[in-house]
Amino acid sequence: MTTATSSDVTGKIFKLAPATNLNGTVQVPGDKSMSHRSIMFGAIAEGVTEVSGFLEGEDSLHTLDAFRAMGVKIERGGEGEVTLHGRGVGALVPAAESIYLGNSGTGMRLLTGLLAGMNIPATLTGDASLTGRPMKRIVDPLSQMGATIGTGEGGTPPLTIEKSDTLKAIEYVCPMASAQVKSAVLLAGLHATGTTVVHEPAITRDHTERMLRGFGVDVSVDGLTSSIRGGQVLKATTLTVPGDISSSAFFLVGASMTPGSSLLLTGVGMNPSRTGVIDILRLMGASIVVENERETGGEPVADLRVSGSRLKGIEVPEELVSLAIDEFPSLFVAAASAEGQTVVTGAEELRVKETDRIQVMADGLRALGADITDTPDGAVINGGRLTGGTADSCGDHRTAMSFAMASLISDGPITVLDCDNVNTSFPGFAQIAQRAGLNIEEVAATP
Ligand code: S3P
């Protein structure tokens, strides 16, 4: 894994002059979690699936390329439009080479579950960050189901999946709150004999369950327990991916913490397992009004009207952590702006994301003048203004965009290092942020 100290100065840099607030209307790109799943499920469905709103970011494009390599005909139309000629469950062909999934934990973990019982071999690799991330969390339950999956030393990628079509259902008590682990097991369960059951310790995003239903699969959910019967066939469908609430979060935070901001975010996915960021910001005093609520493809969608004010520090309720797990980098910035102290606990999963996000945010915000102490499972942040300086994103898309938003509460300029991976989830971020009010310039790093 890339650590807070190992980042080299390559790739793009964000240079930011202080800015005061955010205004106007922003439409963020499609949801990354749903974009991955739309490709995976369309590829193994029977018939032609049409997807619109697909995120054309590097992560989801790697998933698309993976299925092309396994014989699925996939056509790309206009922006965000993808047509998949599904091959049906069990009709994929082995990829000629190892499958490269870039920076994407979702791509690797879900694909491993999906392929585990499909009777084709595959080797999955990724970039420096992904090849440092823990995979034992999926290999353990999948092995219990009868899959044979090799890992690198310490349970990290590359993953080598051996041919197997004899998986058996298990009842799995997941030790960590992880939609990726839950999804990997449920997807393997599609090819297992019997009914696979997963119990979670906390609510995690349920896009797998919802989208599979859209493909005609019977998935049952009862509280923190999800079950799937093996041997079901997916039927092609048409689906629209809404805007990614995780990409919206940078703008929600930026506008909420700056008096004078008035921002409308349109077409944002409002799945209740993802809206923790709104709840947390509201507890900090933010004004976020949900308008024009509607539903697209089994997922709630809305427009969000944000007005800026001075936020106040809070103790973040632990039950909201899994509902906002990807939004903590930007929430740390909100806390750095707030009046008083913010305490985050129960968020140790942040340490095994694209980077150790507790460490990277604490180091970066400290370098920008914040009063922040990292703890094993979170941080204690005393809010105020920032002085500016240089923050190293360590190649993590979400820390990079969060540090960019810090320019709204900084008296001096900010430089954010190692920003190439912003393209994994939010192509066009700098341009959209510039239009909304950041003074941001994207430049190549000078060696
Ligand atoms: C995701 C689940 C989350 C999240 C990731 C996307 C998904 O990871 O952090 O960005 O699409 O299922 P975990 O399930 O490991 O927490």
Q: Which ligand 1 atom sits nearest the alpha carbon of residue 32? A: 11
Report how far ligand 1's centroid is from the alpha carbon of 207 (Å).
10
CA 390 – CA 406 distance, rounded (Å): 11
CA–CA separation, 217 and 445 (whole Å): 48
Rounded distance, CA 447 to CA 436, Å? 31
Atom 13 (ligand 1) nearest CA: 178
CA separation (Å) from 358 to 345, 374, 403, 412? Answer: 11, 7, 13, 24
Q: Which residues line ligand 1 (CB under 6 A)?
A: 33, 106, 178-180, 183, 204-205, 325-326, 349
3-class DSSP state for residue 422?
Answer: helix
Closest CA to 255 of 333, 316, 360: 333
Copy the structure tokens of residue 274: 């993802």
The pTM of the whole model exceeds 0.85? yes
Domain ranges of the chain: 6-29+242-444, 32-240
- At the top level of CATH, the class of 32-240 is alpha beta
The protein residue with its alpha carbon nearest to ligand 1, atom 5, reads 106
Residue nearest to atom 4 of ligand 1 (CA): 326
For residue 1, give both structure tokens: 């894994």
Residue-level pLDDT at 445: 84
3-state class of 265 per DSSP? Answer: strand
The whole-angstrom separation of Cα 381 and Cα 369 is: 12
- As assigned by CATH, the class of the 6-29+242-444 domain is alpha beta
Neighbours of 154 (CB within 10 A): 9
CA of 200 to the centre of ligand 1 (A): 14
User: Token pair 């392929």 is at which residue?
Assistant: 115
Distance 33 CA to ligand 1 centre (A): 7
The CA 446 to ligand 1 mean position distance, Å, reads: 34
Terminal Cα-to-Cα distance of the chain (whole angstroms): 23
Residue 328 tokens read as: 């903590």
Nearest-atom index, ligand 1, CA of 33: 11
Burial annotation 12-49 (CB, 10 A radius, 16+ → b, else e): bbbebebbebbbeebebbbbbbbbbbbbbbbbbbbeeb
Which parts of the chain register pLDDT below 70?
1-10, 447
- Residue 3's pLDDT is what? 38
Three-class DSSP category at 328: helix
Of all protein residues, the one whose alpha carbon is nearest to atom 10 of ligand 1 is 326
Nearest CA to ligand 1 atom 9: 326
pLDDT given for residue 10 in this prediction: 65
Pocket of ligand 1, candidates 1, 110, 133, 326: which has the most ligand atoms within 8 Å of its Cβ, to mutate?
A: 326
Among protein residues, the one whose CA lies closest to atom 15 of ligand 1: 178
In this predicted model, what pLDDT tens digit does every residue of 16-58 receive, in sequence order?
999 999 999 999 999 999 999 999 999 999 999 999 999 999 9
Q: How far is CA 104 from CA 114, 137, 144, 407, 425, in A?
A: 15, 16, 24, 28, 10
Secondary structure (3-state) at 447 = coil
Ligand 1 center to 379 CA (angstroms): 21
Coil, strand or helix at 124: strand
Distance, CA 177 to ligand 1 centroid (Å)? 9
User: Going by C-beta distance under 8 Å and a sequence separation of 6 or more, which residues neighbour residue 140?
Assistant: none
For residue 131, the Cα-to-chain-centroid distance in whole angstroms is 17
Q: What pLDDT is recorded for position 5?
A: 39
Catalytic (active-site) positions? 326
Confidence at residue 447, expressed as pLDDT on a 0 to 100 scale: 65
Mutate to test the pocket of ligand 1, among 41, 60, 63, 106 (most ligand atoms within 8 A of CB): 106
Quick count: other Cβ atoms within 10 Å of Cβ 78? Answer: 6
My answer on whether omega of the bond before 158 falls inside 30° of 0, hence cis, is: yes
Which structure tokens are listed for 106?
């979702």
CA distance 40 to 67: 8
pLDDT digits (tens, 9 = 90+) for 285-294: 999 999 999 9
Ligand 1 atom showing the smallest separation from residue 204 Cα: 14
32-240: same fold as 6-29+242-444?
yes
What's at 149, amino acid-wise?
A: I
CA 447 – ligand 1 centroid, Å: 34
Query: Which of 33, 104, 299 has the most ligand 1 atoms within 8 A of CB, as the residue to mutate?
Result: 33
Atom of ligand 1 nearest to the CA of 326: 9
The Cα–Cα gap between 362 and 253 comes to 17
Give the position, in ligand 1's atom list, of the atom nearest the Cα of 181.
Answer: 14
**Which ligand 1 atom is nearest residue 179's CA?**
14
DSSP single-letter state for residue 303: E
Q: How far is the CA of 8 from the centre of ligand 1 (A)?
A: 26
Q: Which two tokens stand for residue 367?
A: 């370098």
To 10 degrees, the CA torsion angle through 207, 208, 212, 214? 10
